[in-house]
Amino acid sequence: MNTVQHAAPTGLFALSEDHLQIFSSNDRLLPLASTTPRVAANRASLASTRQTKKPRAAAKTELRRMRNREHQARYKSKQINKVLDLEKGIERLQQEIQELRLQRHIISIGVPGRETKWGVAAEYFRLFRNGLRVSNPMNVPVGTVAVESPVHRKFLQTTMTSDVIGVLGCGVDALLKSWRQLTLCHSDINIQLLRLEGGPGETVVAYSRGTHTITEDTLRYAFPHLGNGSKDSAWLASRLLGNKLVMNGCTHLLWDEDAGRMTSIQYTVDMLTPMLQLLGNLGEVSKVFSNARANPQCGWWHE
């Protein structure tokens, strides 16, 4: 019997043993034992692409979040600035309203103008409502009377006697010295005249409310002992710095009818109450004013 030998397939139909598909008895197709190098490379490339896309997507998401946060921060800043502008506008309107009320009060009692004690008192608080604005206050030591606005000096020279009595002594220079010290310590001071009343004799009693922020200059000029380096002083300074105080004041202006000028200006301001509210107890308040240049009534020690 002749044996027929079949030639092994060649060309397109040639398969190696590694690529044969073996059928089981129930004709189910079993997977190939291995894959071609090209398929493996494609799979590896696809996996690498997916891994690369994930960090890129995360970076885009984080960038979008960062831009949203920046946008929200800018919007919040604009809203805060609007509120601050409104508060400043309201404060200016309140000052104008108060000045108009004072003018109405002066007119209602038959005062012809600034030449009377009422007019002088009202103009005094109008001119000095923000103290004396000085340039380069850091270069001006406490107690020095530097060149101030000629308007302030001219007003005092024409409405006060030459020996007018102030908190720090007699004369126009003493009055300006007091205002200079006050302005150096409280650069944003704002004094609002509330009302004028008649006092004993020819005295005008002025009630006012002042506000100012405790700054580095306040600590340096009014409370220099808080910078002595001790932990207790540093703690007190940190408690005070940046806080806004609201203080009620009372000023007595004595008028000389014959001279048509003021002969004395004495004031007291309640700085103790807001300090007590801020620090919480009298012991801490006492430490603040101990060895300070200013006392709780905002008067100054003579140097």
CA nearest to 271, candidates 259, 261, 262, 279? 279
The answer to whether residue 86 sits within a structural domain is no
Segment 214-222 shows an average pLDDT of 90
Give the range with max mean pLDDT: 61-70, 147-156, 172-181: 172-181
The answer to whether residue 102 sits within a structural domain is no
Q: What is the pLDDT of residue 22?
A: 43
Q: Say whether pLDDT at 112 is over 60.
A: no
Q: Say whether pLDDT at 134 is over 50.
A: no
Gap between the Cα atoms of 152 and 148, Å rounded:
7
Q: Say whether pLDDT at 23 is over 60.
A: no
Q: Output the CA torsion sign for 237, 250, 166, 110.
A: positive
Q: Mean of the per-residue pLDDT values for the chain?
A: 78
The answer to whether residue 301 sits within a structural domain is no
DSSP H or E run through 208 = strand 203-213
The answer to whether residue 273 sits within a structural domain is yes
Q: Say whether pLDDT at 51 is over 70.
A: no
Could you tell me the pLDDT band of residue 214, with boundaries at 50, 70 and 90?
A: very high
The answer to whether residue 224 sits within a structural domain is yes
How many other CB atoms are there within 10 angstroms of residue 37's CB atom?
8
Please tell me the total count of domains within the chain.
1
Q: Say whether pLDDT at 150 is over 70.
A: yes
DSSP SS3 for 48? helix
Query: Do 251 and 267 touch, CB atoms closer than 8 A?
Result: yes
Least confident segment among 20-29, 123-132, 150-159: 20-29
The enclosing domain of 245 has a CATH number of 3.10.450.50
Q: Give, to the nearest 10 degrees, the angle between helix 172-185 and helix 150-159.
A: 140
Q: For a pLDDT cut of 70, what percent of the chain falls above it?
A: 69
Q: What is the pLDDT of residue 48?
A: 62
CA nearest to 156, candidates 210, 120, 112, 192? 120
The answer to whether residue 213 sits within a structural domain is yes
List the 261-269 sheet strands across, edge first.
169-170, 160-166, 261-269, 244-256, 203-213, 190-198
Give me the domain span that covers residue 263.
111-290
Q: What is the pLDDT of residue 110?
A: 47
The answer to whether residue 282 sits within a structural domain is yes
Q: Say whether pLDDT at 17 is over 60.
A: no
Gap between the Cα atoms of 176 and 182, Å rounded:
10
The model's pTM: 0.60
Rounded to the nearest 5°, which phi and psi values hold at 282?
-70, -30
Q: What is the pLDDT of residue 96?
A: 73
Q: Say whether pLDDT at 164 is over 70.
A: yes
Q: For a pLDDT cut of 90, what percent of the chain falls above it?
A: 35
pLDDT in tens, 172-185: 999 998 898 888 88
The answer to whether residue 87 sits within a structural domain is no
Q: What is the pLDDT of residue 19?
A: 46
Q: Say whether pLDDT at 274 is over 60.
A: yes
Q: Say whether pLDDT at 74 is over 60.
A: yes
